[in-house]
Amino acid sequence: MNWKLRALLWFVNHVQPIREVGIEHVNTARKASLRASELGKLLFDKKTPVKDIRNFKIGHIPVRLYRNSTEPDQKVILYFHGGGFVYYNIDSHDYVARRLCVFNNCTVISVDYRLAPEHTFPAAHEDAYQVVDHVYANASELGVDATKIMVAGDSAGGNLAACCCHHFKNHPEIKLAAQVLIYPWVDGKIDSPSIEQYKQGYLLTKEAMLWFQKTYSPNPEDQCNPELSPLYQPDMSGLPPAFVLTAEFDPLKDEGKWYADKMRAAGNTVWYRDYKQLVHGFLNIPGLSDEGRQAFEDIRKFIREEVK
């Protein structure tokens, strides 16, 4: 483990611990998490210039569109940020969206879906589906190719991206082109060897995961519902090409690998890579190591080869 990661973990564990908070304190915790994300960007990332950025709404959902060229009919990535369905927004993941736009010469639409506890399951999922519907129906106006709509996200956002693929796989018109699942949360059991091995001290804790879960899905019957925990979807066939990224020191590592294996076993095209010496959240802090920066290169290669 390099010194940068050691220093980050010391800070997170001793100065900015991620712990369960009372519902009445969520807004305060959100502000603290956003300050931490800004510090992370300052220390371990840099802003990628993008020629055209604009904010608008799809229904009630704020989104931010990134475009680096005027080419028509671009590929488009719909990006769903992480944060346990409780924290973060399109500002916290602005640098990620910028880099994805420039690296892939495509449009990126970052989605500010509704958060818990104000909005519980299935609110965030409904927002994700509404954005996909809108982008498909308005592709020409947005300057994107309706046959090249990709979904991507990290952690809880990876869950939303995965769930979009199941939701739309039998749609008569909408056919998603690819999915990029970055350390996705896909198993509501919250019970795996990696969760126990890395349950504290590695940025994301088991305690935080359990709190995120009960905050977004307070009804226990929802927690392993395949509509929320896609690992339990009974039919995994017919999904778009997938790239699943996990981190060596991440509680979610095992379920990400299980999900990749399950999709592959059902006959889908699946890329998988576990990024060594990294923790949950590394896409937002790529300056931690060469491995973190490599993830964006790997995503570029995946999109170039799988979305023609």
User: pLDDT digit string (tens) for 51-88?
Assistant: 999 999 999 999 999 999 999 999 999 999 999 999 99
Q: pTM of the entire structure?
A: 0.95
Average confidence (pLDDT) over 182-204: 96
**Active-site residues: which are they?**
155, 250, 280
pLDDT in tens, 10-30: 556 655 545 556 666 888 888
**Which stretch of 70-79, 190-199, 200-209, 229-238 has the lowest confidence by average pLDDT?**
200-209
Check residue 272 and give its pLDDT.
Answer: 98
> 237-268: per-residue pLDDT in tens?
999 999 999 999 999 999 999 999 999 999 99
**Residues of the domain holding 23:** 3-306
Tally of domains in the chain: 1
The pLDDT-based confidence of 31 (bands split at 50, 70, 90) is confident
**What CATH number does residue 62 fall under?**
3.40.50.1820
- State residue 36's pLDDT score: 82
SS (H, E, C) the chain: CCHHHHHHHHHHHHCCCCCCCCHHHHHHHHHHHHHHHHHHHHHHCCCCCCCEEEEEEECCEEEEEEECCCCCCEEEEEEECCCCCCCCCCCCCHHHHHHHHHHHCCEEEEECCCCCCCCCCCHHHHHHHHHHHHHHHCHHHHCEEEEEEEEEEECHHHHHHHHHHHHHCCCCCCCCCEEEEECCCCCCCCCCHHHHHCCCCCCCCHHHHHHHHHHHCCCHHHCCCCCCCHHHCCCCCCCCCEEEEEEEECCCHHHHHHHHHHHHHCCCCEEEEEEEEEECCHHHCHHHCHHHHHHHHHHHHHHHHHCC
